[in-house]
């Protein structure tokens, strides 16, 4: 089994500097099963690998993708609109908006990523709702931050509306990656 697969999802980053656990110093040359792991390393492992992320947030089920940065979910039997934090996508053609460059593509990308029935985890920041009553959240598909994936595809840009900045750095990094690769909005062929 690959080393990373053996750890909780938060551990590969936290343990990037550690060698393969099998290479930890043995206490005896004669016993292959006796390992010496310094107490400080054990403390780091326990802290870094605690399943805190799995208990954080709320589990919801996607019912509809509204546009590239807004979804509707079933949360405890109630349909709730959710705005992906720290991300802004072009508007799609709709009853209240005119289509912007790649707005329909951003919506289609998110709809492919989160079809109805998809279970997601919603993680909030300091302000839980916006002025329209939408839930503001980092939306996770397994351990993947969907907000950043839309930016990574080049279909959204980072936005910072304080005090909600929890997911901003991840969206900025993904956006920079898309710009460097000339994806989506950054592809001159799209004319955006």
- What domains does the chain contain, in order, with CATH numbers? 4-54 (no CATH), 57-190 (2.40.50.90)
What pLDDT shows up at residue 49?
A: 38
Give the sign of the dihedral formed by CA 182, CA 70, CA 140, CA 163.
positive
**Residues with catalytic function:** 83, 91, 134
∠ Cα 169 74 139 (to 5°): 10
Tokens of 56: 């954080």
Instruction: Say if CB 137 and CB 146 are below 8 A apart.
Output: no
Helices (H), 20-113: 39-49, 52-55, 103-113
Alpha carbons 89 and 84: distance in angstroms, whole number: 10
Tokens of 126: 């300091």
Q: What is the pLDDT along the chain (192 residues), one digit of tens a residue?
A: 332 222 233 333 333 333 333 333 333 333 333 334 344 433 333 333 333 334 479 999 999 999 999 999 999 999 999 999 999 998 887 767 777 788 899 999 999 999 999 999 999 999 999 999 999 999 999 999 999 999 999 999 999 989 999 999 999 999 999 999 999 998 899 888
What pLDDT shows up at residue 30?
A: 39
């Amino acid at each position: 089994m690959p080393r990373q697969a053996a750890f909780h999802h938060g551990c590969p980053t936290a343990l990037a500097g550690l060698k393969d656990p099998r290479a930890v110093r043995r206490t005896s040359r004669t016993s292959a099963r006796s390992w010496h792991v310094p107490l400080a390393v054990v403390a780091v492992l326990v802290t870094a690998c605690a399943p805190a992320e799995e208990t954080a947030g709320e589990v919801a089920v996607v019912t509809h993708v509204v546009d590239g940065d807004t979804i509707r979910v079933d949360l405890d039997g109630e349909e709730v609109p959710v705005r992906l934090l720290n991300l802004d996508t072009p508007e799609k053609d709709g009853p209240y908006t005119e289509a912007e460059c790649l707005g329909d593509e951003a919506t289609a990308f998110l709809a492919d990523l989160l079809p109805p029935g998809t279970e997601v985890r919603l993680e909030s920041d300091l302000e839980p709702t916006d002025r329209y009553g939408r839930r503001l959240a980092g939306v996770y598909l397994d351990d993947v931050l969907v907000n950043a994936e839309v930016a990574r595809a080049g279909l959204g840009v980072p936005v910072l509306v304080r005090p909600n900045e929890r997911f901003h750095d991840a969206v900025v990094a993904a956006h920079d990656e898309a710009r460097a690769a000339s994806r989506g909005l950054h592809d001159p062929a799209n004319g955006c």
